[in-house]
């Protein structure tokens, strides 16, 4: 049975990404472009979202992988993953990302010509940040593809042996209120012993903290969906307790950040609270979404298909708008609002009129080819002939 709450969460989390990337334009953190006025306090809601937004996305991706494998042969699954992840990544690096690098180079005066003097002659020289070739926000795609290929044999085993001992252990843990909080332990270990030595780069090579942390969450998503209703029953029943845990976890994190000086002991404490906080919000979100979002409507049907192209397109639009707004004497509200609505609106126009309706462009943005009416009619006739022959 398809879970519509997972579709809703996928749409919501990727929508939050647009707000987040617009916010990066205004906060002190490193980003491709910066507004002429920085607003440090805007980072607090972004810090809250940062605790779980990418983590839950990899968990949801692991759950989606379970559904994909349940309907396909192993070989077809691998071919589809490569087709739907690598091809959009390639198109993104050739067409979508270069304008972002171009505007960044203009803003720092590293380049002064028009776009077609930059692309393609200079757009692919060297690796970013020293060079210009990059996948920028599309880093999620190669990571997801790598995780799918690495874990594929294990996923196939779990799919074909649903009564194995490992899944039975996870099912027993999921049957109790706090049983799944044992999964906090590996997240704590990664934060404590990998994060300090391997800062996040999203460059794949050498990005060991992100690689190990996110592949674990991806795997967790697969095993949680494998135990079926046991997981959903628990998160629905105890969602309010998990919400209190999340509020407590983030409150303690704020106290650590604001009141304590960095020391080894404080760092390990922060790592433990961070892992607890992340997992609490993931369980909370799954619990409340299972109650209130597990239903389908026309908006979800449209958005669920649009979300992948939106993800590919959005930062190009955000950076372009940001470049022309960054030095204007406007306030935070005006710029933020224009960038958010502009990113959603322009991405929607590009998707609706430049991608969705074109059968041969859809696969370039990770969508299945849309069958034309004649294709459907031919298929119906073929099926009809087969049924007559059978009779």
302 Cβ partners below 8 Å, 6+ apart?
A: none
Percent share of the chain, pLDDT over 90: 88
Helix axes 4-24, 298-325, angle to 10 degrees: 10
Residue 371 has pLDDT above 60, yes or no: no
Which residue from 67, 202, 74 is spatially nearest to 143, judged by alpha carbons? Answer: 202
- Collapsed DSSP state (helix, strand, coil) of residue 277: helix
Cβ(263)–Cβ(199) below 8 Å: no
Question: What does the pLDDT read at residue 333?
Answer: 97
Domain boundaries, the chain: 4-382
Token digits of residue 196: 């300090």
**In Å, what is the CA distance from 13 to each residue of 95, 111, 176, 185?**
24, 35, 27, 25
Does this model's pTM top 0.75? yes
Q: What is the DSSP-derived secondary structure letter of residue 353?
A: I
pLDDT digits (tens, 9 = 90+) for 183-213: 999 999 999 999 999 999 999 999 999 999 9
Exposure class string for 356-378: b at 16+ Cβ within 10 A, else e? beeeeebebbbbeeeeeeeeeee
pLDDT digits (tens, 9 = 90+) for 109-147: 999 999 999 999 999 999 999 999 999 999 999 999 999
């Amino acid at each position: 049975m398809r879970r519509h709450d997972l579709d809703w969460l996928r749409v919501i989390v990727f929508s939050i990404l647009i707000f987040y990337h617009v916010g990066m334009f205004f906060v002190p953190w490193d980003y491709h472009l910066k507004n002429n006025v920085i607003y440090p306090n805007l980072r607090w809601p972004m810090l809250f979202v940062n605790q779980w937004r990418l983590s839950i996305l990899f968990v949801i991706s692991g759950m989606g992988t379970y559904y994909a494998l349940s309907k396909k042969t192993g070989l077809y699954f691998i071919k589809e993953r490569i087709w739907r992840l690598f091809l959009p990544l390639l198109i993104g690096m050739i067409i979508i990302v270069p304008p972002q690098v171009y505007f960044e180079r203009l803003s720092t005066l590293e380049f002064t010509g028009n776009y077609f003097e930059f692309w393609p002659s200079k757009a692919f020289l060297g690796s970013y940040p020293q060079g210009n070739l990059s996948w920028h926000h599309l880093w999620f795609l190669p990571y997801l593809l790598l995780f799918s290929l690495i874990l594929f044999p294990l996923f196939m085993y779990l799919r074909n042996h649903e009564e194995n001992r490992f899944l039975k252990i996870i099912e027993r843990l999921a049957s109790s209120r706090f049983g799944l909080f044992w999964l906090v332990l590996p997240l704590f270990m990664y934060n404590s012993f990998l994060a300090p030595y391997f800062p996040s780069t999203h460059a794949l090579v050498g990005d060991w903290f992100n690689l190990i942390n996110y592949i674990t969450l991806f795997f967790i998503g697969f095993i949680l969906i494998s135990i079926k209703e046991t997981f959903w029953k628990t998160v629905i029943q105890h969602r309010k307790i998990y919400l209190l845990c999340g509020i407590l976890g983030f409150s303690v994190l704020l106290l650590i950040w604001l009141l304590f000086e960095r020391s080894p002991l404080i760092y390990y404490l922060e790592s433990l609270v961070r892992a607890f906080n992340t997992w609490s919000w993931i369980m909370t979100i799954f619990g409340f979404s299972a109650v209130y979002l597990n239903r389908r409507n026309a908006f979800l049907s449209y958005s669920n298909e649009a979300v992948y192209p939106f993800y590919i397109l959005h930062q190009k639009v955000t950076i372009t708008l940001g470049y022309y707004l960054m030095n204007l004497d406007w306030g935070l509200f005006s710029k933020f609002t224009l960038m958010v609505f502009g990113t959603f609106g322009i991405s929607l126009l590009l998707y609706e009129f430049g991608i969705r309706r074109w059968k041969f462009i859809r696969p370039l943005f990770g969508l299945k080819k849309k069958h034309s009416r004649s294709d459907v009619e031919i298929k119906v006739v073929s099926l009809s002939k087969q049924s007559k022959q059978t009779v």
